[in-house]
């Protein structure tokens, strides 16, 4: 299904639904109160559905929900693809209401779909071509020396798998989440990194084409 992703596809990351302490980690999310919503979840669902229509394609770049993702996904418009993040779950049943879940590293190479599988069920990424750009989609900011999770061995193991594959395809752009409101530590000069964490997008999905226009 990654071959259906195009410039009109919506994209966003790191909803952290059902994360009770998320406002402690990300105080900017407390804006939901000023905006008249009952919860962060209500704000995220409202902002999503005001731009994403029923038949639109939307890609979530991980950390969708801390638990019970099946409780939330039907509330979001669109045909939904999930690229797993470090706070997602291994359970396939929990994500049955997504249209597609990327498991492993999927590559759309000249119209041929390839998959690199590993034993790590939460290792997830995609490589696609959109408007002559080679684009990597992943939860993590591949190539940045960020310290956000430097002591988490599992994440470092995933990066060691993803990075060489991304390098081998000479990507122009890597679109990711994971950092929330945190800034890059030492981003690579090339490829360009674009962070689509909720906090960076005013909690609203953006179109892939608009990101490429940047």
Residues 6+ apart with CB under 8 A from 110: none
How is the chain split into domains, by residue range?
A: 2-208
**Residues 75-129: tens digit of each pLDDT:** 999 999 999 999 988 888 888 999 999 999 999 977 888 998 888 889 999 999 9
Say whether pTM exceeds 0.75.
yes
* Architecture field, domain 2-208: 4-Layer Sandwich (3.60)
Distance CA 87, CA 85 (A): 6
Tell me how far the alpha carbon of residue 104 is from its chain's centroid: 14
């Amino acid at each position: 299904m990654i071959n259906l992703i195009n410039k009109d596809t919506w994209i966003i990351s790191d909803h952290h639904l059902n994360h009770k302490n998320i406002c402690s980690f990300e105080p900017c999310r407390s804006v939901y109160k000023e905006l008249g919503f009952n919860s962060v979840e209500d704000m995220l669902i409202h902002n999503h559905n005001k731009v994403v229509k029923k038949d639109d394609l939307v890609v979530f770049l991980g950390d969708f929900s801390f638990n019970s993702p099946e409780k939330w996904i039907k509330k979001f418009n669109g045909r939904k693809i999930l690229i797993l993040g470090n706070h997602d779950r291994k359970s396939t049943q929990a994500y049955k209401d997504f249209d597609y879940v990327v498991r492993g590293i999927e590559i759309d190479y000249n119209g041929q779909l390839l998959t690199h599988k590993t034993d790590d069920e939460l290792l997830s990424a995609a490589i696609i071509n959109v408007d002559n750009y080679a684009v990597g989609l992943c939860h993590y900011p591949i190539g940045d020396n960020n310290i956000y999770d430097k002591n988490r061995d599992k994440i470092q193991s995933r990066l060691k798998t993803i990075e060489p594959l991304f390098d081998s395809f000479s990507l122009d752009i890597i679109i990711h989440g994971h950092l929330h409101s945190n800034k890059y530590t030492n981003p690579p000069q090339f490829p360009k990194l674009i962070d689509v964490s909720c906090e960076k997008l005013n909690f609203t999905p953006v179109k892939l084409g608009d990101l490429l226009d940047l």
